[in-house]
């Protein structure tokens, strides 16, 4: 009799667990659809970006700009960042330019007087814009996602997603919280926490402008003279 009772309790627990997972998936799917729907309504976007990291004795502070051409759903974007890294008192400046031309993503990095360049597929590693269907596909592949209660960011209602890596990514960041403004679907805030729950990374998108005029040449990649582009598309 006890065995049957335990079996019944176990079966009920499994049913409740499966039910909660299904509801969570439905909620995530609904949020994703709403954000993509909002995102697909505009043609272009610009924003200022700030990023700060403080982990394992290293700090990194960066500022830059972000631009998107959303015409035709090609996910063309450009991000330029200037940052200063401090590793135990040893400081180093770094400049990165990332261009997504709708087919491939190119990244040029300059540090200590040396330039390197890579060519990647959209969604490969971090080679994707922080918006739209492509971003969600990349997130779902690498992270377990959970919808958290809505919040307000700079006066705008925002969906909040929790992202935990499905496997170790060699990073102290154990969990991220991402904030997406409902009216345009853009992620405007990200917070990264370590395993102890300490905030070790922040990224913010400010001065967001919807549908500004952006020259098409901003989304055309040109390799710096004398720099060989490493092709990572087959990795």
Nearest to residue 66, comparing CAs of 213, 234, 232, 208? 208
Q: Six-digit token pair at 40?
A: 């697909």
Q: pLDDT tens digits for 119-167?
A: 988 766 555 566 677 788 888 888 999 999 999 999 999 999 999 998 8
Count the domains in the chain. 1
Any domain includes 222: no
Q: DSSP of 126-156, one letter per residue? A: TBS-SSHHHHHHHHHHHEEEEEEEEEEETTE
Question: Looking at the domain assignment, is residue 218 inside a domain?
Answer: no
pLDDT of 35-80, one tens digit each? 989 988 889 999 999 999 998 788 999 999 999 998 876 778 999 9
Cα-flanking dihedrals φ and ψ of residue 4, to 5°? -65, -40
Domain that residue 201 falls in: 2-72+119-213
Instruction: With respect to residue 101, please indicate whether it lies within any of the assigned structural domains.
Output: no
Residue 233 lies in a domain: no
Rounded Cα distance between 190 and 170, Å, is: 19
pLDDT at position 21: 44
Which CATH number do you get for residue 63?
Answer: 2.50.20
Using a cut of 0.85, tell me whether the model's pTM lies above it.
no
* Interacting residues of 145 by C-beta distance below 8 A, sequence separation 6+: 28, 139, 161, 162, 163
Residue-level pLDDT at 110: 93
pLDDT digit string (tens) for 182-217? Answer: 999 999 999 999 999 999 999 999 999 999 999 999
Within-domain flag for 183: yes
Report whether pLDDT(16) > 70.
no
Residue 10 counted as domain residue? yes
């Amino acid at each position: 009799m006890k065995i049957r009772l335990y079996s019944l309790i176990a079966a009920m627990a499994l049913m409740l667990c499966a039910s909660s997972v299904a509801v969570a998936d439905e909620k995530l799917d609904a949020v994703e659809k709403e954000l993509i729907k909002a995102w697909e309504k505009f043609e272009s976007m610009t924003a200022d970006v700030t990023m700060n990291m403080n982990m394992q004795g290293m700090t990194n502070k960066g500022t830059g700009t972000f631009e998107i051409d959303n015409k035709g759903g090609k996910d063309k974007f450009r991000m330029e960042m200037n940052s200063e890294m401090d590793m135990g008192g040893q400081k180093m400046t770094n400049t990165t330019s990332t261009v997504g031309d709708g087919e491939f993503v190119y990244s040029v990095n300059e540090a200590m007087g040396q330039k390197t360049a890579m060519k990647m597929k959209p969604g490969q590693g971090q080679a994707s814009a922080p918006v739209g269907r492509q971003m969600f596909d990349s997130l779902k592949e690498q992270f377990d996602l959970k919808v958290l209660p809505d919040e307000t960011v700079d006066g705008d209602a925002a969906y909040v997603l929790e992202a935990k890596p499905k496997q170790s990514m060699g990073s102290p960041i154990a969990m991220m919280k991402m904030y997406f403004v409902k009216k345009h679907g853009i992620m405007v805030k990200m917070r990264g926490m370590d395993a102890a729950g300490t905030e070790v990374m922040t990224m913010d998108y400010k001065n967001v402008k919807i549908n500004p005029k952006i020259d098409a040449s901003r989304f055309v990649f040109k390799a710096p003279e004398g720099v060989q582009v490493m092709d990572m598309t087959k990795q």
